[in-house]
Amino acid sequence: MVSSLSYDGARSELRGIRWGSTLCGVWWVSGDEARILTPSEQRFVRHATYTGRSVRVEGELDTAALDAAFVALVRTFPVLACRIGEDAEGRGHLLRPSGAELPISVASGDPEEIRLPSEPIDPRQRLAYLDVTRADAGSARVTIFVHHSVADAGQCVELLSRLWSYYTEYLASGWISVAPQYYPRPLEAYVAEANIVRGPLSGLEQVHRPLEPAERIVPPDPREPAPAALHRPLRTTVDTETTARLVAHGKRTGIGVNGLVTAALLRAYAGETGEPRSLGCVYPVDLRTRLHPPVAPTAGTNMAGLASFSAHIDTETDLFDLGAMISEHLRRDIASGLVAQSVLHFPDYYGPDRRYSLAGHIAVTNTGRVPTFTAPGLRFTDYEIVYVSAHPRPSTGPSAAVTFLLYTFADRLAVGVLGGGDAAERLPEAVAKQLDALAAETPRDHSTAQGD
């Protein structure tokens, strides 16, 4: 159903709905539960992980219009107003909205900084927050945080795009037309509909190790809850010319830019962490466009299967050869169906029934090209990916040695670096040097199948 609402009308309509309420962190009113979260979603419950998208804007931001746009966004995607409760076994349950208002957070400050919202982030209350930091000189930072159990990168980017579309619509007419959507579904549901079954291999065998029985015990929660923690990756951003050369290299060789850049990241990490070594890499593969029929960005929660790759790497490793191996390995695992069924193995790696560890792997996530955001009187000058652990607890899942986050904004490739241990501060510069060196090389033709 498509309907229109004004800002005041949206707020009053949300207030008029009567819902149940959470009694405490474990139990809730009967009828509140929408469904239990699946393993692909459960892995983000223990730390209450929120994934964030942050933009820097120049110009006069109308916060009332932005608030109206956020109301419309929540009405369009009511899962944002849902909550997550945990049962006595620590399993997460998606709970229907409480009916409480979801105000945005607005404060004066330095738009260079990304901050936590003024209202404590709590998945028992809501699954989405919008924070605005404004400066006096006509600049601001706008950050949307969404619980990772209900939204991955593909959905978050779509939500941010829709937010600015609603903002523009409200400024033009004072009204916003919305069409409420169903709650997004998990990857497991789409895999089942596609008649994909669990095979003998997860696709992660190159990087996993069996857990000892003592390692499988779920660590106890801390006596005092840890405060929410914002994780803002360090970044390196290459210029448009270098980005264009990297893309051209990927096309000319048939390797694809993803394979080439991943090779550069692995060589940078090997160089900064010491001796030549065998490195295991894990990378998510968005399955939305690989399923039949394709899945819309906001129709799925976490739609990535996992793939892995392992190789002996040092500072002399040829990037084109390594990139070709990575690209061919990924192509083969996708074509064989190994990646599509990997989600059915997630209980072996995450949560209380896990049997294997992926600790120490290199995580590489490429979310692709960021769409162009537009809004009247505003210029979008920066884009970042951040994370929040709302209530950090001892982990029951794999811990990456480092996570590399790739995306292209305004025709410039950016690489975020999260973690990395003693090498963390050095890695952004090391990555930049490897990417510059790769762009400056004259590529050779490779016989590998076309990469991503």
Res 8 pLDDT > 90: no
- Residues 160 and 52 grouped into a single domain: yes
Residue 211 lies in a domain: no
Residues in the chain, overall count:
452
- Is the residue at 288 inside a domain? yes
User: What torsion, rounded to 10 degrees, do the Cα atoms 69, 74, 76, 82 define?
Assistant: 180
Domain annotation covers residue 217: no
pLDDT at 214: 85
Instruction: Examine the pLDDT at 450 and tell me if it is beyond 70.
Output: no
Assigned domain for 116 exists: yes
Say which residue the tokens 């409420």 belong to.
180
- Token readout for 85 is 């409760």
Instruction: Kindly tell me if the per-residue pLDDT of 14 is higher than 60.
Output: no
301 and 173 in a common domain: no
Question: What is the structure's pLDDT at 90?
Answer: 84
With respect to residue 127, please indicate whether it lies within any of the assigned structural domains. yes
Name the more confident of 12 and 384: 384
Rg (alpha carbons) of the chain, rounded to whole number: 22
Q: Is 214 within a domain?
A: no
pLDDT of 365 above 70: yes
Query: Are 11 and 100 found together in one domain?
Result: yes
Residue 85 confidence (pLDDT): 93
Phi and psi at residue 205, in whole multiples of 5°?
-60, -30
Asked whether residue 34 falls in the same domain as residue 143, the answer is yes
179/298 same-domain check: no
Q: Quick one: pLDDT at residue 7?
A: 37
Q: Are residues 150 and 40 in the same domain?
A: yes
282 and 167, same structural domain? Answer: no
Domain co-membership, 288 together with 426: yes
- The residue that leads in pLDDT, 223 or 340, is 340
**Contact of 436 with 395, CB cutoff 8 Å:** no
Give the β-pairing of 105-108 and 128-134.
Answer: parallel
Give the sign of the dihedral formed by CA 436, CA 442, CA 445, CA 446. Answer: negative
Q: Are residues 172 and 251 in the same domain?
A: no
Q: How confident is the model at residue 336 (pLDDT cuts 50, 70, 90)?
A: very high
The answer to whether residue 136 scores a pLDDT higher than 60 is yes
Strands (E), 6-138: 33-36, 49-59, 83-86, 92-95, 105-108, 128-134
What's the confidence (pLDDT) of residue 126?
A: 96
Report if residue 49 sits inside a domain.
yes
Whole-number pLDDT of residue 156: 98
CATH code, domain carrying 353: 3.30.559.30
Q: What is the rounded distance in angstroms from the CA atom of residue 108 to the CA atom of residue 276?
A: 48
Closest listed residue to residue 146, CA positions, set 132, 130, 162 = 130
Q: Are residues 76 and 130 in the same domain?
A: yes
- Domain count for the chain, please give it: 2
Residue 411, sorted as left (phi over 0), alpha (psi -120 to 50) or beta, turns out to be left
Both 102 and 173 in one domain: the answer is yes
Q: Assess whether 238 and 178 both reside in one domain.
A: no
Per-residue buried b or exposed e for 397-436, using 16+ beta carbons within 10 Å of the residue's own CB? bbebbbbbbbbbbeebbbbbbbbbeebeebbbebbbebbe
| pLDDT of res. 6 | 41
Tell me: pLDDT of 3 over 60.
no
Least confident of 44-53, 78-87, 178-187, 268-277: 268-277
Domain boundary among 133, 160, 187: 187
pLDDT value at 277 more than 90 = no
Does residue 35 form part of some domain? yes
Residue 149, domain extent:
3-187
What is the domain-level CATH number for residue 175?
Answer: 3.30.559.10
* Cis previous bond, 117, omega within 30: no
Pair 342, 204: CB distance under 8 Å: yes
Model confidence over 237-254: pLDDT tens digits?
999 999 999 999 999 999
